[in-house]
Amino acid sequence: QVWLEESGGDSVQAGGSLRLSCAASGHTANINYMAWFRQAPGKEREGVAAIYTTGRNTYYADSVKDRFTISHDKPKNTLYLEMNSLKPEDTATYYCATTTRLWGQVLNGDMYGDWGQGTQVTVSS
C-alpha cells in the first residue's frame, strides 16, 4: 500500500499561482503512474494531470493544458502540481493518486488504487 499526503492548497485570486505537493510513502517502488485529480462540490471527479514516473511522460486535461505542470521528484517520492493563471473554475479539492498499472486511461480515476485525503484550492474572481 502507498500512503499519500497532499499539501499546498490555499485561497488565491484569479490569475494567481499555487504549487501542490504530494508526499508518497510505503510501497512506492512499484508505482508507474502518479496523477492529480480534482472534485468541486456537485461535480464529478476530474483527472487533471498524470505522469509516468519512469519515462516522465506527462498528460493533461484540456482545461488545464498550458497552465498546469506536473512533475515528480523520484528520490523524494514527491509529486508536484504547479498551477498558474488560476481561474475560479479551478476551485476544487485536489487529490493525488498512484497506480502500479501500466496500461489504461491515465486521467481516469478507476486506474488508481491509492489516494490522498485532498487539499483545498479556492480561486476567487
55 falls in which pLDDT band (50, 70, 90)?
confident
Which residues, in sequence order, are CB contacts of 32 under 8 Å at separation 6+?
52, 53, 54, 99, 100, 101, 102
pLDDT, mean over the chain:
96
Retrieve residue 20's grid coordinates: 501542490
State the Cα angle at 95 between 92 and 101, rounded to 5°.
Answer: 140
Could you give the percent of the chain with pLDDT greater than 70?
Answer: 100
Interval 66-104: pLDDT, tens: 999 999 999 999 999 999 999 999 999 999 999 999 989
Strand 119-124 vs strand 11-13: parallel, antiparallel, or unpaired? parallel
How high is the pLDDT of residue 52? 96
Interval 58-74: pLDDT, tens: 999 999 999 999 999 99
Cα–Cα separations (whole angstroms), residue 115 to 12, 19, 28, 90, 110: 25, 18, 13, 20, 11
Q: Within 10 A of 10 (CB to CB), how many other CB atoms are there?
A: 14
How high is the pLDDT of residue 56? 79
